[in-house]
Amino acid sequence: MTLSNAAAEILSKLGVDQAAYTGGTLASFSPVTGEQTGALPEATVEAATTAIATAKQAFKAWRMVPAPRRGELVRLFGEELRAAKDDLGRLVSIEAGKIPSEGLGEVQEMIDICDFAVGLSRQLYGLTIATERPGHRMMEQWHPLGVVGVISAFNFPVAVWSWNTALALVCGNSVVWKPSEKSPLTALACDAILKRALARFGDAPEGLAQVLIGGADVGNALVESPDVALISATGSTRMGRIVAPKVAARFGRCILELGGNNGGIVCPSADLDMTLRAVAFGAMGTAGQRCTTQRRLFVHETVYDDLVPRLIKAYESVSVGNPLETSALVGPLIDKAAFDNMEKSLAEAKAAGGTVHGGGRVDTGAENAYYARPAIVEMPSQCGPMMEETFAPILYVVKYTDFEDAIEAHNAVAAGLSSTIFTTDLRESEMFLSAAGSDCGIANVNIGTSGAEIGGAFGGEKETGGGRESGSDAWKGYMRRATNTINYSRELPLAQGVKFDI
C-alpha cells in the first residue's frame, strides 16, 4: 500500500472527510518515501478572520461553563486519544517520519496532558492575601483569557497543539490552530478526534476549537488580530522574531517556544555507559529534529578518549532507514532543505577546524526522501556552526579541562532551552543546577536533553523565547489574573495610612 493510501485509510477511519485533503493547493508529503500524501484546500485570510470571530463568540459562552465541567470535555478527549492512539501514532510516523515508538510516544504525551488538565480543571487556584485594612479581604482569581492562537511546527505535529489546547480548554478559552504546512494531515486527524469528544460532550459552543490549514498569511492573521488574546507559537527563532513584535505592538500575550542549542557536560565521574545511551537518544533520536535535541557536548579531558570513540562507533552503527518498514532507530529528515542545511553546517564545521564523523545521505531507494547518517563533530573549541541550531542530527563535541569554563561555554550560545550534566559528583551537579549553572529552562542530571515529561513546565530562556507550556503552573499563561479587595466593614480605611476626609 502506498503511504498516501495508508494515510487516507487512517483519516477516513477517524472520520476526516476526503474533501479536506484532496483537490486543494497545499501539497503534503511523507518524508519516509517523499511521496505526496494529500492536496489540502487552504483557508483564506477572510476565513481566518471568520474563524477568529466564531472563536470569540465560543469563548464568551465557554468562559461561563464551570471549569470542572470544561475538564470533562478534556477527559473525553483523552479517552478518544486512547482509542485512536495506534492510528494517530502511525499517521505521525507517516507525516513526520518518526519511528513507531516515537510516533506513539507523541500521542502518549497528548494523553498525559489531558489527564493533567482534567485534574487542573479543579485546581485553578488563586490566593487569599492578608490585607492591611480591617474588615477587608483580598484575593486573586484566575479568569479565562480569550481566543488562543496556536502555531505549531512539523516535528511535534500533534503533542504541542494538545499541550496548548488541553490547558486552554480547561482554562475557559477557545482555540484556533495553524499547524505547520509540513504536517497538515495529522492536524486534520487531531481535529476529528477532538470533534468526537465534543460530540459526546454535547453542549460545547460552536467553533470552540478550530483548525486553519494554510500558509504564513493565515498565521499572520492570528498574530495580528486584536481578538486573539494569546499566541502560543512553536518554531524557529526566526519565526519568533517576526511574531513577537507584532503581538507586542497590540499588547497581546505570547508564549514562545523557539530554537534550542542544547548542551551537556560530561564530568570525570560520569557513568559513561549511561552517558553513551542518553546522548545517543538525545542527539540521534527523532533524527535530531526535536527542539530539545542534544547538539553540544563538553567532555572532560580525562574521559574524552574513552567516551568519544564509543560515541563515534555508535554513530557509525546506528540503523538509519524507513521507520515504517524496518526497525531503524533513525528515520528521515523532513525534506531536502533540512538535508542541505545539515550538509552546509558540516562543511562549515570542517572549515572551522572540526573533524566530522558521519553525515551524508543514506540511500533507501526513495529518490525524494532524505535520510542522513547522523554526524558527530570533534571541534577544537566552541565556534562556527556549533553556536547555532541546525535542525538535524549533528552533535558537536569539545574537550574541556576546567568545570567553570565548561559551564561558561555551555551558556555562551543564544538559545536556552534544555541542558544536562553527566556526573556522580554532588558538587558538580548542584553547581550546574544552581543560579550560577545552566541558564536554560530545562536542566537535567544524568539524562539527555530531550524527552521531557508533561508534568514540568516546558520552555526556555534567551532566544528560546521565555514561554512555558505544559505542566506545573504554565496554565497561568492561559488565564488572566484579577486581584479583588472586598470591604465588608462600615468604615473606609485607606491603604498606606492615607487620610482623605471630606
373 close to 319: Cβ distance less than 8 angstroms = no
Catalytic residue (choose from 257, 378, 389, 428): 257
| Closer CB to ligand UN1, 33 or 155, in the complex | 155
| Closer CB to ligand UN1, 28 or 420, in the complex | 420
Window of 238-246, 285-293, 372-380, 408-416 that interacts with ligand UN1 by CB under 6 A: 285-293
Catalytic residue (choose from 181, 291, 378, 428): 291
Answer yes or no whether residue 287 interacts with ligand UN1 by CB under 6 A.
no
Closest CA to 255 of 283, 231, 219, 235: 231
Q: For residue 106, indicate whether it is catalytic.
A: no
Q: Collapse the DSSP code of 87 into the 3-class scheme (helix H, G, I; strand E, B; otherwise coil) and give the result.
A: helix
Q: Collapse the DSSP code of 214 into the 3-class scheme (helix H, G, I; strand E, B; otherwise coil) and give the result.
A: coil
Beta strand residue intervals within 87-223, DSSP E = 128-129, 136-144, 147-151, 174-178, 209-211
- Tell me how far the alpha carbon of residue 113 is from its chain's centroid: 13
The cell for 282 is 538525545
Q: Cα separation of 267 and 273, whole Å? A: 13
Answer yes or no whether residue 290 interacts with ligand UN1 by CB under 6 A.
yes
x-or-dash string of contact with ligand UN1, 158-197, rule CB under 6 A: --x-------------------------------------
Instruction: Please state the closest distance from residue 106 (CB atom) to ligand UN1, in A.
Output: 8
x-or-dash string of contact with ligand UN1, 437-476, rule CB under 6 A: -------------xxx------------------------
Instruction: Please state the closest distance from residue 290 (CB atom) to ligand UN1, in A.
Output: 4
Long-range contacts at 7-10 (CB < 8 A, ≥ 24 apart): 7/37, 7/38, 7/91, 7/94, 7/95, 7/185, 10/87, 10/88, 10/90, 10/91, 10/94, 10/189
Window of 143-151, 175-183, 290-298, 329-337 that interacts with ligand UN1 by CB under 6 A: 290-298
Q: Cα separation of 29 and 370, whole Å? A: 12
Instruction: Please state the closest distance from residue 69 (CB atom) to ligand UN1, in A.
Output: 29
At residue 265, φ and ψ (nearest 5 deg) are -120, 130
- Tell me how far the alpha carbon of residue 302 is from its chain's centroid: 36
DSSP string, 248-287: HHTT-EEEEE----EEEEE-TT--HHHHHHHHHHHHHGGG
Instruction: Please state the closest distance from residue 152 (CB atom) to ligand UN1, in A.
Output: 8
Give the amino acid at 283.
A
| Closer CB to ligand UN1, 139 or 447, in the complex | 447
| Closer CB to ligand UN1, 264 or 451, in the complex | 451
In angstroms, how far apart are the furthest CA atoms of the chain?
88
The helix-helix angle for 67-96 and 3-13 (nearest 10°) equals 160
Closest CA to 165 of 148, 182, 143: 148
Q: Cα separation of 306 and 315, whole Å? A: 15
x-or-dash string of contact with ligand UN1, 207-236, rule CB under 6 A: ---------------------------x--
Phi-psi region at 129: left, alpha or beta (left = phi > 0; alpha = psi -120 to 50): beta
| Closer CB to ligand UN1, 20 or 96, in the complex | 96
Instruction: Please state the closest distance from residue 454 (CB atom) to ligand UN1, in A.
Output: 7
x-or-dash string of contact with ligand UN1, 99-118, rule CB under 6 A: ----------x---------
Answer yes or no whether residue 364 interacts with ligand UN1 by CB under 6 A.
no
| Closer CB to ligand UN1, 219 or 451, in the complex | 451
Window of 14-22, 32-40, 153-161, 346-354 that interacts with ligand UN1 by CB under 6 A: 153-161
x-or-dash string of contact with ligand UN1, 244-283, rule CB under 6 A: ----------------------------------------
Q: For residue 291, indicate whether it is catalytic.
A: yes
**Given the C-alpha cell 542545511, which residue does it identify?**
341
38 close to 27: Cβ distance less than 8 angstroms = yes
Answer yes or no whether residue 422 interacts with ligand UN1 by CB under 6 A.
no
Window of 44-52, 288-296, 346-354, 481-489 that interacts with ligand UN1 by CB under 6 A: 288-296
Give the active site residues. Answer: 257, 291
Site residues for ligand UN1 per CB under 6 A: 109, 155-156, 160, 234, 290-292, 450-452
